[in-house]
Structure 1
């Protein structure tokens, strides 16, 4: 489990079809790393197999490479965001991030304001369903808040403070860059729990489909 608070930047290289080497000579967390530890690499939970003072290696499955931007990044040598897994007693400053990417989106717009950067992204359908205004989203492993989105969630914007922009690989993105997206874990569970009700309600029922209103809640025993 992670929180989406990036603790270092690195670069990756494919040492074989299924193994990555992550180079991060300035990452302080490597001093405490152990074989078997989980580290999020651009938001993907991977397991440390070997390590030294400046790098570590992980094995990636074909599924991981096909559902993420790692292969593209390995070819371009672009920086990746790194975060070690939570330990007991650590602060939870972002939101709960599992390290399981739901899909790859693309950067569509960047606006620079005095206090922040506003970045807009296009999300695939597999992620868009869980994107709501003021909800949480992990972009390349970074915990961010959705500032606004279209009704479907397929186009959304986040506001990024200067510290986050400079400390992550967001500053290295260009228009069209692919990004790993992980929807809010709690939102996915909520949708899962509602699915049986959707499946058993009559076709003309509004349960679980339209906006929840005060009248809807009263009708179903709330308030």
Structure 2
């Protein structure tokens, strides 16, 4: 589990494409507690596993399912990445509960500077519009943000980014057309499932006559 508070900006050193998967070499100076093989990291909000460690860098593997839902497959060497380590059970929950399971890609429509702050307009897929609630939490490329406004009748919404977050994440590279990973608040999906459970096929009854 993660909290959506980005800890480092890392650089994609190399990306290797296989038939249906990807391996990424990511450059990153050590954390206070060194990484270990098997550790979970959120990279642009995507939960991935450290598979190999080199000097000031590490490798992760990306599955076909993850590539189909995220922006990782469209990255190039040299691009910057948001990085967050998995949180401990006794750590502060400074953002909100983020699983690292991306729901879909969304597109940056516009970025407006308002003094030192930045208002970002985003278009999500229509299927996610029912989860977009004003003042609710949402993760954009792993960044815990608040939905400031939802445009009525659309799947467009706005978030506001403070100067610190702008400088300490890849948000400063956003521009119209940028594809970002979004993760909806997990509690919204659980509530929907509980209120509207799917209809299950009625199992066939087997009669045994003796």
* TM, length-normalised to structure 2: 0.87
Please tell me whether the aligned partners of residues 108 and 122 of structure 1 are also in contact (alpha carbons under 8 angstroms): yes
Cα deviation per residue 1:44-82 (whole Å; 9 max; x = unaligned)?
000111113411111111111111100112x36321101
Would you tell me which structure has more strand in proportion to its own residues?
A: 2
**2:29 maps to which residue?**
26
Is structure 2 residue 146 aligned with structure 1 residue 174? no
**1:218 maps to which residue?**
none
**1:147 maps to which residue?**
148
Match of 2:39 among 15, 37, 51: 37
Please tell me whether the aligned partners of residues 15 and 25 of structure 2 are also in contact (alpha carbons under 8 angstroms): no
Is structure 2 residue 94 aligned with structure 1 residue 93? yes
Within a 5 Å distance, the mapping from 1:122-133 to structure 2 comes to 122-133=123-134
Q: Secondary structure of the residue that 1:111 maps to in structure 2? A: strand
Q: Secondary structure of the residue that 2:89 maps to in structure 1? A: coil
Q: Which runs of 5+ in 2 are unaligned?
A: 200-210
**1:8 maps to which residue?**
8
Please tell me whether the aligned partners of residues 9 and 83 of structure 2 are also in contact (alpha carbons under 8 angstroms): yes
- CA–CA separation in structure 1 for the residues paired with 2:72 and 2:123: 18
Q: Secondary structure of the residue that 1:189 maps to in structure 2? A: helix
Within a 5 Å distance, the mapping from 1:63-82 to structure 2 comes to 63-73=65-75, 75=76, 77-82=78-83
**2:159 maps to which residue?**
158
* TM, length-normalised to structure 1: 0.82
Would you tell me which structure has more helix in proportion to its own residues?
A: 1
- CA–CA separation in structure 1 for the residues paired with 2:104 and 2:65: 12
Q: Over the residues paired in the alignment, what is the CA RMSD in angstroms? A: 1.8
- How many residues are paired up? 196
- CA–CA separation in structure 1 for the residues paired with 2:77 and 2:133: 32
How many Å apart are 1:20 and its aligned residue?
A: 2.5
